[in-house]
Chain A
Amino acid sequence: MLFLIAVNAHAQPCSLKLSGAVRSDDGEWLAGTVVRINAQLFTTADESGRFIVENLCRGTYTVTLQFVGYKTKVEEVHLEKDTTLHFVLETDRAVLEEVFVHDHFQPLPETGSYKVLSGEQLIRNRGMALGELMRQASGINTLQTGPSVFKPVINGLHSQRLLLINNGVRHESQQWGAEHAPEIDPFFASDIVVITDASALQYGPEALGGVVLVSPAPLPEEPGWGGEFQSVLQSNGRGGVLSWMAEGGSKKHKGLGWRSQMSYKRLGDFHTPRYVLSNTGVKELNFSVATGMHREDKGWDIFFSHFQTELGILKGTSISSLEDLKQAMNREPPQYSTGFTYDIQNPRQQVQHNLLKLQGHRHVNKGDLILQYAFQHNNRKEYDLRRQSLNKLPAMDMDLFTQTLDACWKQHGRGALWYQAGINLLQQSNNNVPGTQRIPFIPNYNQYGAGIFLSADLNLNTWFINGSLRYDHRFFNVSGFDFANRSYTDQFNLGNTAVSVGVRRDVNRYVRISSNFGTTWRPPHVSELYSMGVHQSVAAIEYGLLLDRTTSTVIPFGQYNFHPERSLKWTTSVSVQNKNWRTEGTVYINYLTNFTYLRPEGVTRNIRGVYPYLRYVQTQALFTGMDWQGEWRVNPTLSFTTRLSLIRAEDRKNKDYLIYIPPNQYAFIIAWKNPNESKRLRFYAETYLRFTDRQRRAPRVITVDEILNAYEHGTDPLQGSDKIFDFMPAPDAYVLLGAEAGVALQLNGNKMELRLRGDNLLNTAYRDYTDRLRYYALETGRNIVLSVRYSF
């Protein structure tokens, strides 16, 4: 029972609206029906059973409607224009409907805990870096290095403990570095899904913190073409982003579509409420091209993307000893501060990332077979402030080549049972490009990986049960230079298992509970084993696990009693909703054995002065936390939302805190929109208040003066304890106020959107605990963002 009503005669790719109404078979409007597009939670129906999903691209979508006590309805919708659908859900008489969800890619586990950023929410925040943008979802934090380097932090974990899946491919870059942001352009994404529990084993074992899926919209399958332009201008940094996208479908070949997209970002120096942050400009150019054929029984996709960025690191962070750090901490403004400029000088990063993906899939005998090959090249150059003759040489220059080959088979078994099985192969080589005139921070390596996984889903009335099993093997071949520039080589193997079990129960039409327990592991990153040297802007020397404690020579892997890091994670989510209220809470407990982290071990004097040194060690860590969001829709125009995110992390073995754990955060949002959705002109306005607490569970503080004095007087600079420490106490709590307003205008199938946003409106001067530059400078001040988007 599906009626299609054409609303608008002109095609508008990616600005299309799908609206609908859901009734029961006895005529009752089903408020709170969960509406998913391509298996992702998009919205719920309001009190009159209606829903609207906006900013969809042209193409075929699978619309899933779920309401407890009724049969789940799955419809294929070919979207070419704004469309309104009427659905009728049938009362479930305990007979399980055999539903085939025609969704080949990235099925979300039915039992999982996840967060979604999509549609309007993504478009509104375009212009931000990926990590910064992800922060808009509740419970996601960032580890920051100044105003343009953001790494996503999920449940307190980041870097190699997250799996980033970029358009279906494991994103492989130098993720180990705390100042290495993911090389992914948010402009190509139509949705970002963050899976926070251990259920998504099909992507790899490393997701101790979570999996981030960044995906574009499906390619158009219907003839015709469309596109969009967007410009985002911001006051802080005096620059912005220009982007365009064009896409279309072939008239001649059914199901053949293409898309091409490009974005260019240029920003100058950011500023704090009091001074300019010299050398924090950004230059970024990204593009992607995609084409693919999608038919009922088979299809293929080719995707290529290029990411290229050059970004300055605050010049005042160029220090090379504790004395320098002391000077830097006491300076305002930071050293080398000048007036605003667009120039990007040393220290800076130049990063390129290329991705080529080939994918084919086939639908046979109620099953799907997917074969995917991807090639990635990542080049990272880091320039430091060095002697004149060395200034033009990168201090770090690495080429990382990765090839992945994935085969996945999904089969509908008997009754309500689904099986999935797959193989993932990986080949990776990291090469330090000669000519840096520095001993490479990490060695060259080749890595071969093979993984196999099996999973089964069972859907029993209101119960969904999922079980997954995975085994991975890795082989490493390492070749580098030690502290004295003598070469070393090593080879080793690692293998281990991951298991996940999850359950979801739809208790009644208002309440849903899901719970997952999983254990997974990750192979060590080469940087954790072999690092040697001083990182940009950190006045400390880092030593890998395999460096001998006294001689600093490299110990063969086989002689070191290494145990890979493993997590035991339990995640439970509860969501409750009725016509005016919606609330969702997630609680997690993550126990990590052999948790590998940097621990201060002592203080050494080299020719440049006194340095604390840190060594990678392993411990038992416990991360617990809660994310909660509550929304109260007073009426169709006004809503109030409250969010909170709490994290507690501790080192169980040493009875100590861990460093750079995001402090607790609370947000309060008031949103208003004009009630008449169908009008040509639409308005919305929103204001938020974000409170970030002081990290009350921060490591002890040992000031630079205390270390230097102790060293001078021959006493223990670490004050008789090997607990971790920080040079500065955790910054104070702060509150940020922001507001946004927008207007959308529809004219003959063209859509024009205008948005104005202000962040840090009160120009609050603050420091953020999870910004590695907090020792040197304040965070950025007021920023006014003007965004114009035109789609046709």
Chain B
Amino acid sequence: MKRYFSFILLFAGAALSLYISGCDDDPEKEDVPELVTKIKLTFTPVTGGSPVVVTAVDPDGEGPQDLTPDGSINLRENTTYQLSIELFNDLLNPGEEGYDLTEEIEEEADEHQFFFGFSSGVFSSPSGTGNIAPSTGSINYLDEDSNGRPLGLLTEWTTAGIQSGKSFRVVLKHQPGIKSATSTSADGETDVDVTFALSITGS
């Protein structure tokens, strides 16, 4: 038995140190600048008047609940609007660090671009159905990146005549190293892809 004793003692000692060496480190909370749960579209008439604002919110981020728009975009006929887009992480409180994510896109304008898709005939300018592949229409971009390529946080739209039941789709693409004069919405990774209902009403 004596022969085993040193073995048992060694084992017990090692076992004890094993069990007390487990440290209970609580994880640190991460900032999550890539988590976008809300998009806000503001259509401001260039001739003045109250802006049209729509938002779409995803209540649980990666969770199974859907992103839902809070209503349709109701624009007036034959009016020119400037559209500005803002992105948020709505799981945080307004004012908290990381709540407003629009700036992040601005800072990396050279690898991001917004693309737009809409029902035929809803706008007199731009005409067509937008520039989301396979469509190849033009968009009135009002901003650009350092290489002079469009970004799309600010765009201009002139509505056509009265119509309803139309749609308006916004796609933000992340194109690191591949954003070019010829890159399209089929290139890169999707950061945002949201579709709103659109109607044009009488003035």
Q: Please list the residues of chain A having a beta carbon within 8 angstroms of any beta carbon in chain B.
A: 318-321, 323-324, 327, 335-336, 362, 364, 369, 371, 373, 385-391, 403, 405, 407, 423, 425, 427-429, 431-432, 434-440, 443-444, 446, 448, 477, 479-481, 483-485, 487, 489, 532-534, 541, 543, 549-552, 601-602, 604-610, 613
Q: Report Cα–Cα, A537/B11, bound state, in Å.
A: 45
Tell me if B54 counts as interface (CB < 8 A to partner A).
Answer: no
Min Cβ gap B179→A in Å is 12
In contact, B7 and A440 (Cβ under 8 angstroms): no
7 interchain residue pairs of minimum CB distance: A552-B63, A609-B193, A434-B28, A321-B190, A444-B27, A484-B91, A320-B189
Identify 15 residue pairs between A and B in the complex whose beta-carbon atoms are under 8 Å apart, listed by A's number.
Answer: A320-B190, A323-B190, A371-B10, A390-B34, A431-B27, A437-B31, A437-B33, A439-B30, A484-B60, A532-B62, A543-B64, A552-B63, A604-B65, A607-B67, A613-B64
Min Cβ gap A542→B in Å is 9
Q: Report Cα–Cα, A122/B36, bound state, in Å.
A: 50
Q: Report Cα–Cα, A369/B38, bound state, in Å.
A: 63
In contact, B31 and A551 (Cβ under 8 angstroms): no
Chain B residues within 8 Å of A386, by CB: 34
In contact, B186 and A327 (Cβ under 8 angstroms): yes
Q: Please list the residues of chain B having a beta carbon within 8 angstroms of any beta carbon in chain A.
A: 3-4, 7, 10-11, 14-15, 18-19, 21-39, 56, 58, 60-67, 87, 91, 104, 107-108, 111, 174, 176-178, 186-187, 189-194
Min Cβ gap B110→A in Å is 8
In contact, A485 and B27 (Cβ under 8 angstroms): no
In contact, A608 and B19 (Cβ under 8 angstroms): no
Q: Report Cα–Cα, A80/B10, bound state, in Å.
A: 36
Given A362-B7, A405-B11, A604-B64, is A437 in contact with B30 using a C-beta cutoff of 8 Å? yes
Given A389-B108, A604-B66, is A438 in contact with B27 using a C-beta cutoff of 8 Å? no
In contact, B189 and A541 (Cβ under 8 angstroms): no
Chain B residues within 8 Å of A489, by CB: 26
Chain B residues within 8 Å of A440, by CB: 27, 30
In contact, A318 and B189 (Cβ under 8 angstroms): yes
**For residue A613, which residue of chain B has the nearest CB?**
B64
In contact, B63 and A403 (Cβ under 8 angstroms): no
Q: Report Cα–Cα, A602/B65, bound state, in Å.
A: 10
Chain B residues within 8 Å of A532, by CB: 62
Chain B residues within 8 Å of A369, by CB: 4, 7
Q: Report Cα–Cα, A119/B15, bound state, in Å.
A: 37
Q: Report Cα–Cα, A74/B110, bound state, in Å.
A: 73
Min Cβ gap A360→B in Å is 8
Min Cβ gap B184→A in Å is 10
In contact, B32 and A485 (Cβ under 8 angstroms): yes
In contact, B30 and A534 (Cβ under 8 angstroms): no
**For residue A533, which residue of chain B has the nearest CB?**
B62
In contact, B7 and A371 (Cβ under 8 angstroms): yes
Task: Choose from B19, B26, B67, B186 the contact partner of A605 (Cβ within 8 Å).
Answer: B67
In contact, B194 and A607 (Cβ under 8 angstroms): yes
Min Cβ gap A724→B in Å is 17
Chain B residues within 8 Å of A435, by CB: 30
Q: Report Cα–Cα, A369/B66, bound state, in Å.
A: 60
In contact, B18 and A405 (Cβ under 8 angstroms): yes
Min Cβ gap A424→B in Å is 11
Given A434-B28, A485-B30, is A605 in contact with B18 using a C-beta cutoff of 8 Å? no
In contact, A607 and B10 (Cβ under 8 angstroms): no
Task: Choose from B25, B26, B63, B176 the contact partner of A388 (Cβ within 8 Å).
Answer: B176
**For residue B68, which residue of chain A has the nearest CB?**
A605
In contact, B64 and A335 (Cβ under 8 angstroms): no
Chain A residues within 8 Å of B64, by CB: 541, 543, 549-550, 552, 601-602, 604, 613
In contact, A387 and B11 (Cβ under 8 angstroms): no
In contact, A437 and B63 (Cβ under 8 angstroms): no
Task: Choose from A336, A429, A439 the contact partner of B35 (Cβ within 8 Å).
Answer: A439
Chain A residues within 8 Å of B66, by CB: 604-606
Q: Report Cα–Cα, A318/B176, bound state, in Å.
A: 11
Q: Which of A483, A534, A543 has the most CB of B within 10 A?
A: A483
Chain A residues within 8 Å of B39, by CB: 607
**For residue B8, which residue of chain A has the nearest CB?**
A407
In contact, B29 and A321 (Cβ under 8 angstroms): no
In contact, A387 and B108 (Cβ under 8 angstroms): yes
Q: Report Cα–Cα, A403/B18, bound state, in Å.
A: 7
**For residue B33, which residue of chain A has the nearest CB?**
A437
Q: Report Cα–Cα, A397/B178, bound state, in Å.
A: 27
Task: Choose from B4, B11, B191 the contact partner of A608 (Cβ within 8 Å).
Answer: B191
Q: Which of A423, A444, A549 has the most CB of B within 10 A?
A: A444
Task: Choose from A335, A390, A534, A552 the contact partner of B60 (Cβ within 8 Å).
Answer: A552
Q: Report Cα–Cα, A438/B29, bound state, in Å.
A: 9
Task: Choose from A335, A446, A481, A602 the contact partner of B22 (Cβ within 8 Å).
Answer: A446
Chain B residues within 8 Å of A602, by CB: 64
Q: Report Cα–Cα, A428/B56, bound state, in Å.
A: 43
**For residue A429, which residue of chain B has the nearest CB?**
B22
Q: Report Cα–Cα, A431/B23, bound state, in Å.
A: 10
Q: Report Cα–Cα, A621/B81, bound state, in Å.
A: 59
In contact, A446 and B7 (Cβ under 8 angstroms): no
Given A364-B3, A427-B22, is A480 in contact with B27 using a C-beta cutoff of 8 Å? yes
In contact, A388 and B33 (Cβ under 8 angstroms): no
Task: Choose from A321, A327, A362, A364 the contact partner of B193 (Cβ within 8 Å).
Answer: A321
Min Cβ gap A69→B in Å is 40
Chain B residues within 8 Å of A443, by CB: 27
In contact, B187 and A335 (Cβ under 8 angstroms): yes
Given A429-B25, A604-B66, A613-B64, is A437 in contact with B190 using a C-beta cutoff of 8 Å? no
Chain A residues within 8 Å of B35, by CB: 439, 485
Chain A residues within 8 Å of B22, by CB: 427-429, 446, 448
Q: Report Cα–Cα, A428/B19, bound state, in Å.
A: 10
Task: Choose from B4, B23, B56, B193 the contact partner of A323 (Cβ within 8 Å).
Answer: B193
Q: Report Cα–Cα, A484/B63, bound state, in Å.
A: 9
Q: Report Cα–Cα, A369/B6, bound state, in Å.
A: 12
Chain A residues within 8 Å of B27, by CB: 431-432, 434, 440, 443-444, 479-481, 487
Further 15 A-B residue pairs, CB within 8 A, beyond A318-B189, A479-B24, A607-B67? A320-B190, A321-B190, A403-B21, A429-B22, A429-B25, A435-B30, A437-B32, A438-B30, A438-B34, A439-B30, A533-B62, A552-B64, A606-B62, A607-B38, A608-B190
Chain A residues within 8 Å of B178, by CB: 335-336
Min Cβ gap A614→B in Å is 10
**For residue B36, which residue of chain A has the nearest CB?**
A607
**For residue B189, which residue of chain A has the nearest CB?**
A320
Q: Report Cα–Cα, A124/B26, bound state, in Å.
A: 47
Chain A residues within 8 Å of B190, by CB: 319-321, 323-324, 608-609
Task: Choose from A321, A324, A389, A431 the contact partner of B25 (Cβ within 8 Å).
Answer: A431
Min Cβ gap B48→A in Å is 31
**For residue B64, which residue of chain A has the nearest CB?**
A604
Chain A residues within 8 Å of B4, by CB: 364, 369
Q: Report Cα–Cα, A481/B3, bound state, in Å.
A: 50
Q: Report Cα–Cα, A297/B171, bound state, in Å.
A: 73
In contact, B29 and A487 (Cβ under 8 angstroms): yes
Task: Choose from A319, A320, A407, A428 the contact partner of B11 (Cβ within 8 Å).
Answer: A407
Chain A residues within 8 Å of B10, by CB: 371
In contact, A485 and B29 (Cβ under 8 angstroms): yes
Q: Which of B21, B22, B107 has the most CB of A within 10 A?
A: B22
In contact, A427 and B18 (Cβ under 8 angstroms): yes
Min Cβ gap B114→A in Å is 13
Min Cβ gap B131→A in Å is 15
Task: Choose from A387, A423, A431, A607 the contact partner of B37 (Cβ within 8 Å).
Answer: A607
Min Cβ gap B198→A in Å is 15
Chain A residues within 8 Å of B34, by CB: 386-387, 390, 437-438
Task: Choose from B3, B18, B60 the contact partner of A425 (Cβ within 8 Å).
Answer: B18
Task: Choose from A373, A448, A533, A607 the contact partner of B19 (Cβ within 8 Å).
Answer: A448
Q: Report Cα–Cα, A439/B92, bound state, in Å.
A: 14
Chain A residues within 8 Å of B36, by CB: 607-608
Q: Report Cα–Cα, A481/B35, bound state, in Å.
A: 14
In contact, B111 and A388 (Cβ under 8 angstroms): yes
